Copies of this chain bind each other. A is one copy, B any other.
Amino acid sequence: MKKSTKQLCTALVSLGIGLGAASSSFAQQSLKDVMQARGLTQKDLLAAAKTYTPTGGRDEYLAFSSGGQSGHVIVYGIPSMRILKYIGVFTPEPWQGYGFDDESKAILAQGKINGKLINYGDTHHPAFSETEGEYNGKYLFINDKANPRIAVIDLHDFETKQIVVNPFMKSDHGGAFVTPNTEYVMEASQYAAPVSGDYVPLEEFNEKYRGALTYWKFDMKKGQIQPDQSFTFELPPYSQDLSDAGKGPSMGWGFTNSFCSERYVGGIERGRPPFEAGCSQKDTDFLHVTNWTKAAELVAAGKVHKVNGAYQITMKQAVKEGLLYLIPEPKSPHGVDVSPDGTHIIVSGKLDSHAWVYSWDKIKKAIDSKKFESHDPYGIPIISMKDTLHTQVQVGLGPLHTQYDSKECVVYTSIYVDSMVTKWDYCKGKVLDQLHIHYNIGHLVSMEGDSVSPDGKYLVSLNKLAIDRFNPVGPLHPQNHQLIDISGDKMQLLYDMPLPLGEPHYVVAIKADKLKPAVRYKSGWDSRTNKKSPWATRAGREKVVRKDGVVHVYGTVIRSHITPEIIEVEEGETVSIHLTNLERAEDETHGFAMYSQNVNLSIEPGKTVSATFLADKAGVYPYYCTEFCSALHLEMQGYLLVKPKGYVAKAGAKIEEGQKYTKADFDKQVKTNVDTQAVINSVVGFITSHNYKDFPEVVALVEDATDQLGFADEAKKKAEGYAAKGDFQNATLWAGQHWQYQVKTADLGLRAKTFLEEHGAVKVEAKK
């Protein structure tokens, strides 16, 4: 019956060689027939050619989208519009182990409010870290509107590393936005609330409810926000909205708009007109202009007081020091977008049909000459619109956000009510083109469109619930991101991408080659603290240590076993399992799930993660690797045994093996192993006789195969040791394990060989 193993070896050789030919033939088929059958026009075909990315192809840009109330950040490629990753940020996500391992639980715990763990977030506006106004590809920031927080995501491994809770706010729509060297991350409150956190009746709204704008200090080297160096502007109880940082001539200043400067409080249930009526009554709201450079100097000089444990610049102090100004802006605006050169600021009122272009030069002149038209009820100077406006352009009904092109003066504004994108010239104040989208656009993004040097090329329109663009999937529809080609004079719609999870608000897109993500961690790495883990364990050093009432299991994972395979504890003990992934191969992520204990880990190569839980009920708890890591993946298993308190094992009990092996079994296995080794040798021969060192992918596979072969040798020695002692049960099992390592080696070898064949490797002369 062992003939199947022989056939396997034959297969190793025959299939490994035979395949190149089989896959190279490709049936001829008429493009015209396909177009006709699928109802495609020439225009469709051109759009297909502009977006279709063949296997192994790379995207030119990576887009990072907020996930809205899913609490994630979503990463997709442009122009292929394929979603590459959902990054867990404010919401636990088990595939990544986020919020399941102790290390990431600590990140989520940073985001507690009033001592309460929040298990979701409403992410809105992602922002890349910048150096001199250019995206530097190092970090991404994003806010949580519902529970005002900012998260820091490391683009080295696409993981969330920090969450900070705003000490003054009870909602934040306007975050995150960064200053040109990521000196600060801006976060603005939305719905006014008491600064104190206590109950304050709405009757005291004007006096005690406040808005706020926080400048979070960021340390690029540490990759961490520094709350103790951050400061917050106290603002009037308007609903502050989005922000943008000045650059070039406006460097050092920030711009934050607002709606509901009427300070209206609804109450439709008590006969009052609703918020929507009272908050949209005035023709203008206020653009807030803040001087963060000077504010930082005041903080550094010890001139700013702490409230709620953090620096707060009161309105009084801000006015006195000349840090805060207001400018009327179009009714209920959404976006405020500074031009790449920092000279202009575009604001659109969503209940207006115009985009308003402000001149920084004019604003600065008014500030310098203290030319104000009045003051708001809180004493903040108001600069007049006419003293600051460059132009107003009629762009369509319900304009929201503006993104910049690489072409001078060219911008794109999303038009909500008209469901379109308007391309226009903000210098000349002239509409250039308009394109319908489906339907009801919110934000839009051009490539590196809010940096100092936008790339143009593509634009993505972020459309709301796509009721009729895709196959229906129930009452909750996907959103629709439409890719638009903006390289020519006229915008061209290329692609409709459904968002399967979440409700994105804003996207930022970066040139893909600016990102250099890692593919593995240093061995024994805590990815959340970005340090060697205190729980890191090396191969052969696995152990169980009871300390301070906790059972610490120092374990390892490697294809295809978890060490330890049996863990024994007593009912009532707290168990802390620390697992290090010993693999270096980049596709050898292992998982770890355990029955009924909410234990679910993702352990990428090199990572060390921990799961701590109370073994509160005696019983048997299987655990296993959740990632399809190898052919023997299903056998990568173990048992946690929770014994009743005071349990005494029966004397002399032994695990009785269901299957007994003899010398004949051992000899048969050894013969199989010899045959398999011959196959491996032939594959190795093929590889080493070719210029494999010219292919880094193959070098990695060969290194991994060599590792596996090393393990194989160890198993072989064990088998031979037992055989010498006449223990053919263990001898046969270890010989079997030897073969398992051989199969893993062969897997890698075959992949390397195929790669060489497919990539035109050439024979090299044997060394003399």
Contacts and interface: CB of A to CB of B under 8 A. Distances in A.
Interface string A739-758: 01001001100110010001
A202 B566 contact: yes
A465 B85 CA distance: 12
Given A47-B52, A85-B478, A351-B631, 20 more contacts: A12-B397, A15-B434, A41-B54, A48-B52, A72-B501, A145-B624, A146-B600, A146-B624, A193-B620, A199-B642, A259-B635, A268-B564, A269-B565, A269-B566, A272-B733, A273-B718, A277-B733, A279-B635, A281-B736, A418-B750
Interface string A639-669: 1011110010110011111110100010001
A425 interface: no
Contact of A489 (B8, B27, B86, B280): B27
Interface in A192-228: 193-194, 197-206, 209
A724 to B, nearest CB: 16
A19 B418 contact: yes
A55 B500 contact: no
A54 B619 CA distance: 56
B75 A49 contact: no
Contacts of A534: none
Identical subunits present: 2
B70 A93 contact: yes
Interface in A8-28: 8, 10-12, 15-16, 18-19, 22-23, 25-27
Interface string A472-486: 111111100010000
Contacts of A246: none
A663 B455 CA distance: 51
Nearest to A489: B27
A122 interface: yes
A667 to B, nearest CB: 14
Contact of A354 (B7, B349, B351): B7
Nearest to A282: B659
B116 A598 contact: yes
Given A118-B596, A490-B25, A657-B264, A622 B170 contact: yes
Contacts of A274: 560-561, 563, 565, 737
A410 B436 CA distance: 47
Interface string A344-366: 00000111111000000000000
A409 interface: no
8 contacts: A8-B353, A31-B49, A145-B593, A158-B473, A275-B561, A439-B751, A440-B628, A465-B627
Interface string A502-539: 11010000001001011111000000000000000000
Contacts of A38: 49-50
A55 B46 CA distance: 14
B643 A203 contact: no
Interface residues of A, number: 267
Interface in A85-107: 85-86, 91-96, 100
A205 to B, nearest CB: 7
A587 B19 contact: no
Contacts of A760: none
Contacts of A199: 618-620, 641-644, 647
A296 interface: no
A415 to B, nearest CB: 8
Nearest to A647: B199
A319 interface: no
A270 interface: yes
A147 interface: yes
